[in-house]
Structure 1
Amino acid sequence: MDDDTTSSRHISVWIDATPDAVYAFASDPTELPRWAAGLADPSLSDAVVDFVPKNDFGVLDHVVRLPSGEAVYNPMRVIRGEAGCEVVFTLRRRPGVTDAEFEADAAAVAADLESLRGLLEN
């Protein structure tokens, strides 16, 4: 399955904080290095993150423009729950990404979401 370019994986975490607080923090580009480890990597210091316009629906889709010029689209949502909210990141497999690389990307996203939870629940 190493050549599969159409698969996606939804990775989520429940956060015991208001959806508005989570949305405000997660959509703030200045906070990204605190919870999105990949974007804190010095090799990505020139990466640019463009979020969709602020909205009332919890949509946090964003494009990461890498120093190589590649643009990576990342669907992300903050979904209101009865208590707290769920943050869902859809990891899309890019062309040429091996199974092992896709699994590593998924683990990195899960760790980032746990970091986000840790910052917002403390």
Structure 2
Amino acid sequence: MSNDPKTLRSRHVSQVIACPPAQVYEFAANPDNLPRWASGLAQCHVERDGDTLVVDSPMGRVTVRFTPHNDLGVLDHDVTLSSGTTVNNPVRVLAHPNGSEILFTVRQIDLSDEEFDRDTATVAEDLERLRDLLER
């Protein structure tokens, strides 16, 4: 287990999507679309409580707060687990020669190396699902 704050790792997972950045951003920023592509976060209907989303996730019932809507492609969001731990997830939609690239930073907070590998793989699968949905 690597949860010493000095050795916590981050991994950047990205996916190129053959769509304009604004289209990727708008789809990914819509809470109603989360269950369609973000299996690591939302597995069913997303409830809204003001600016906070309440979702049933693989981690249990969690709350999610996204950064305000913006023109910069920033989809950062804080996920507060039932334990009270809040995990900040930096996400960017960037222009790419083939359309867009979505970049998600996965951080190893309170995770074993095995759990970190599993989370990273889940994010990669989710970003592939997002690509598949948008490129249809």
TM-score, scaled to structure 1: 0.89
Match of 1:87 in 2: 102
> Is the 1:29–1:49 Cα contact (8 Å) retained in structure 2?
no
2:132 corresponds to which residue? 118
Larger mean Cα displacement after TM superposition, 21-30 or 65-74: 65-74
Please point out which of 71, 82, 104 is paired with 1:67.
Answer: 82
- How far 1:56 sits from its partner (Å)? 1.4
Q: Deviations over 1:70-120 (max 9, x none)?
A: 22110000001233100000001103x111111001000000000100110
Q: Aligned pair count?
A: 121
Normalising by structure 2, report the TM-score.
0.80
Query: What's 1:99 paired with?
Result: 113
More strand by share: 2
Q: Any unmatched runs of 5+ in structure 2?
A: 45-55
Alpha-carbon distance in structure 1 between the residues aligned to 2:82 and 2:36: 20
Following superposition of structure 1 onto structure 2, how do residues 9-88 of structure 1 map, counting pairs within 5 Å?
9-41=11-43, 43-44=56-57, 46-88=61-103
> Percent same amino acid among aligned pairs?
50
Return the structure number with greater helix share. 1
Distance 2:75 2:121 in 1: 20
Q: Which has the higher contact order (CA 8 A, sep 6+)?
A: 1
Question: What's the Cα RMSD here?
Answer: 1.8
The residue type paired with residue 65 of structure 2 is: D
